[in-house]
């Protein structure tokens, strides 16, 4: 069917609500819901935290019993199974809503079409597909994990105008300005986990925490560390819970790191290296929807070659660092330009004195 301008406006509101639970809803999707009659919003809600009320229940609670015959706008199909909360379809049916407009079907096999079927069986009109592209963006991490078993993984990097990330001696603070650095912390805040490599840990001793913007939960931290070379005093271990992905068993080092609260996960790959595809699958098994990598050129390239990178977020500073400075991606040389990877640029904007370029790697 065709959707009205009113439908579009109310679904746009539902999509905007997804941002409110984005940091805390994991592993669930941060669904947005609006309930309206004749263009007047009766109630709205979003999923705040796993185990707590879903968006539909929160929106219904705000309707004060006026939901009968109303239209419900949802960014994702309502659940039809019993989890830590009851099925949302039961609540919608009990409220006697007249119509449900959903952007997307939920790929979760526990839901996938079952919610829509239950609603239709109850005589409720169901229309699907309104603003599907926008909802896909909002839920891209959850959708990636459900469909592929691994998170939506982005590489974030800062570089000069000539594509350099650090001086020849390794110094990189600061290539970009304070506005860009604050923007990076907002990117961290929406991430379920932050990943780096052992080279970055040894060279920069990063914290990989959210500090410059409000954040209701810190992302989990992980290090790709094949030989368990992370120093026990490294800042990234502070507070415990850091995951170290290793390829080799080094019992003495493992005991010292575990004493600091680190979790060691063995994922051996060819040549004594860590299996990065298995790392991505493990991160998915932990319920992480979005993961951000901040590391160096070698790990960036290895992740791209492993086929697990979905997005590049590059902050470009109006500086020129010269030929001896470090590059962005240590990818192998090409035989022809036709062999080049061609990420699709989806957004370019100015952040302070720097540019932020966002691109998707599509295969």
Exposed (0-12), middle (13-18) or buried (19+): which is 298, by Cβ within 10 Å?
middle
3-state class (DSSP) for residue 35: strand
Indicate if 294 belongs to the active site: no
Q: How far apart are CA 211 and CA 12, in angstroms?
A: 30
Q: How far apart are CA 83 and CA 44, in angstroms?
A: 22
Phi, psi at 289, each rounded to 5°:
-90, -45
Q: Which two tokens stand for residue 272?
A: 């004594």
Q: What contacts 51, CB < 8 A, 6 or more positions away? A: 84, 85
Q: What contacts 141, CB < 8 A, 6 or more positions away? A: 26, 151, 152, 192, 288, 289, 290
Determine which one of 56, 77, 134, 278 is catalytic: 56
Q: How far apart are CA 79 and CA 115, in angstroms?
A: 6
Exposed (0-12), middle (13-18) or buried (19+): which is 227, by Cβ within 10 Å?
middle
Q: Which of 35, 30, 99 shows the shortest CA–CA distance to 64? A: 35
Q: How far apart are CA 310 and CA 350, in angstroms?
A: 22
**So which residues are the catalytic ones?**
56
């Amino acid at each position: 069917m065709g959707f009205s301008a009113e439908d579009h406006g109310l679904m746009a509101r539902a999509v905007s609500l997804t941002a409110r639970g984005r940091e805390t809803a994991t592993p669930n999707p941060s669904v947005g819901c609006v309930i309206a009659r004749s263009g007047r919003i009766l109630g709205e809600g979003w999923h705040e935290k796993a185990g707590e009320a879903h968006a539909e229940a929160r929106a219904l609670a705000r309707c004060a019993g006026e939901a009968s015959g109303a239209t419900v706008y949802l960014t994702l199909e309502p659940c039809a199974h019993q989890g830590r909360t009851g099925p949302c379809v039961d609540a919608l049916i009990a409220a006697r809503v007249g119509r449900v407009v959903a952007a997307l079907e939920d790929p979760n096999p526990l839901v996938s079409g079952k919610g829509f079927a239950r609603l239709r069986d109850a005589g409720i009109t169901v229309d699907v597909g309104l603003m599907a592209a926008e909802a896909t963006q909002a839920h891209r991490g959850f959708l990636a994990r459900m469909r592929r078993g691994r998170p939506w993984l982005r590489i974030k990097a800062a570089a000069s105008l000539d594509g350099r990330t650090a001086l020849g001696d390794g110094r990189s603070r600061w290539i970009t300005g304070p506005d860009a650095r604050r923007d990076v912390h907002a990117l961290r805040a929406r991430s379920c986990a932050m990943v780096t490599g052992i080279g970055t840990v040894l060279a920069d001793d990063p914290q990989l925490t959210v500090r410059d913007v409000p954040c209701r939960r810190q992302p989990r931290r992980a290090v790709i560390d094949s030989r368990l070379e992370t120093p026990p005093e490294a800042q990234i271990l502070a507070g415990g819970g850091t995951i170290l992905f290793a390829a080799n068993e080094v019992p003495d080092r493992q005991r010292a790191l575990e004493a600091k609260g680190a979790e060691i996960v063995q994922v051996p790959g060819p040549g004594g290296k860590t299996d990065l595809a298995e790392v991505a699958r493990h991160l998915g098994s932990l319920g992480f929807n979005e993961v951000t990598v901040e590391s160096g050129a070698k790990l960036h390239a290895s992740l791209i070659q492993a086929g697990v990178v979905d997005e590049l977020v590059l902050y470009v500073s109006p500086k020129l660092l010269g030929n001896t400075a470090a590059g962005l991606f240590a990818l192998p040389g090409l035989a022809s330009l036709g062999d080049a990877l061609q990420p699709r640029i989806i957004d370019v904007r100015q952040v302070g004195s720097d540019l932020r370029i966002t691109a998707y790697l599509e295969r």
